[in-house]
């Protein structure tokens, strides 16, 4: 990479960071939830999808939120939060499993793009969590998913939540990821401690289309 290109990239990232930095974590969350309500009620406005928006984004991006969600085809974040091009920085893996590449992607959005909000989004009927609950031998690379999610299932069992094991495991998995991200050094934890970043968990309801913030 040439010096000129490095300088140009730095200017673009700085500009994007300044624009994203103008929004607080609370306002970012409000924008997401208002968009989700529009979607759930069938009143989606489909913002920022014009030719003009596409052209404007050629010079750089300034998303206001990171969504770490499941790869499930029923839960595309841009649709369920009624957002458009350049609005949300999305990382999707089965069961919201976080590997080094996912974590680096989140750090990039937070540190270089100035994103003030990270939402970990679980959902009803998650297939990855269901597989972890059912147990058994996982073929191929699926064992990596089970290894990541199984602590959430064990926690549910230890808390006597066998009767609602799947739902409890889904929420536990989200909580565990939130906690891990909040304590991820040095980038995310420092931003959280400085009050510049909010990391929270949520759950998408397949039937209503609504997103609920988890305590």
Cα angle for residues 42, 46, 47 (degrees, 5° grid): 140
CB-CB contact of 70 with 123 (8 Å): yes
Instruction: Evaluate whether 131 touches 173 at the Cβ level (below 8 Å).
Output: no
User: Residue 16's pLDDT band (boundaries 50, 70, 90)?
Assistant: very low
Residue 21: predicted pLDDT: 53
pLDDT of residue 208: 98
Check residue 49 and give its pLDDT: 95
Give the end-to-end CA distance of the chain in Å, rounded to a whole number: 45
Contact call for residues 151 and 127 (beta carbons, < 8 A): no
Q: Tell me how far apart the alpha carbons of residues 19 and 203 are, in angstroms, rounded to a whole number.
A: 28
DSSP-derived 3-state class of residue 8: helix
Alpha-carbon radius of gyration of the chain: 18
Across residues 34-50, what is the average pLDDT? 97
Per-residue confidence (pLDDT) for residue 215, from 0 to 100:
87
- Domains of the chain, earliest start first: 3-213 (3.40.1050.10)
The pair of structure tokens assigned to 26 is: 């609370």
pLDDT at position 136 = 82
Sign of the CA dihedral running 99, 182, 13, 17? positive
pLDDT tens per residue, range 91-137: 999 999 999 999 999 999 999 999 999 999 999 999 999 999 999 88
Q: Of 6-10, 36-40, 152-156, 197-201, which range is least confident?
A: 6-10
Residue 9 is predicted with a pLDDT of 35
Integer Cα distance of 86 and 78 in angstroms:
10
- CB neighbours of 177 closer than 8 A, spacing ≥ 6? 68, 96, 98, 120, 201
For tokens 């909010």, name the residue: 198
pLDDT at residue 175 tops 50: yes
Q: Distance between CA 75 and CA 101 in Å, rounded? A: 21
Q: Is 98 helix (H, G, I), strand (E, B) or coil?
A: coil
Per-residue model confidence (pLDDT) at position 3: 34
pLDDT, position 22: 77
Least confident segment among 9-18, 40-49, 81-90: 9-18
Total residue length of the chain:
215
pLDDT at 2 over 60: no
């Amino acid at each position: 990479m040439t010096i000129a290109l490095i300088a140009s990239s730095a200017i673009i990232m700085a500009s994007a960071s300044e624009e994203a930095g103008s929004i607080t974590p609370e306002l970012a969350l409000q924008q997401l939830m208002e968009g989700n309500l529009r979607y759930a009620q069938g009143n989606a406005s489909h913002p920022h999808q014009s030719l003009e928006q596409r052209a404007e984004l050629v010079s750089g991006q300034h998303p206001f939120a990171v969504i770490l969600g499941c790869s499930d085809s029923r839960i595309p974040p841009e649709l369920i939060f009624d957002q458009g091009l350049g609005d949300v920085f999305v990382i999707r893996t089965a069961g919201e499993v976080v590997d080094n590449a996912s974590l680096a992607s989140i750090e990039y959005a937070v540190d270089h793009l100035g994103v003030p909000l990270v939402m970990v989004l679980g959902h009803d009927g998650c297939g990855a969590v269901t597989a972890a609950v059912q147990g058994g031998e996982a073929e191929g690379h699926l064992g990596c998913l089970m290894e990541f999610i199984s602590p959430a299932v064990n926690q549910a069992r230890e808390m006597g939540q066998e009767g609602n094991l799947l739902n409890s495991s889904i929420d536990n998995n989200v909580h565990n990821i939130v906690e891990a991200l909040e304590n991820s050094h040095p980038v995310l934890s420092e931003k959280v401690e400085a009050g510049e970043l909010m990391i929270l968990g949520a759950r998408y309801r397949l039937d209503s289309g609504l997103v609920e913030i988890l305590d």
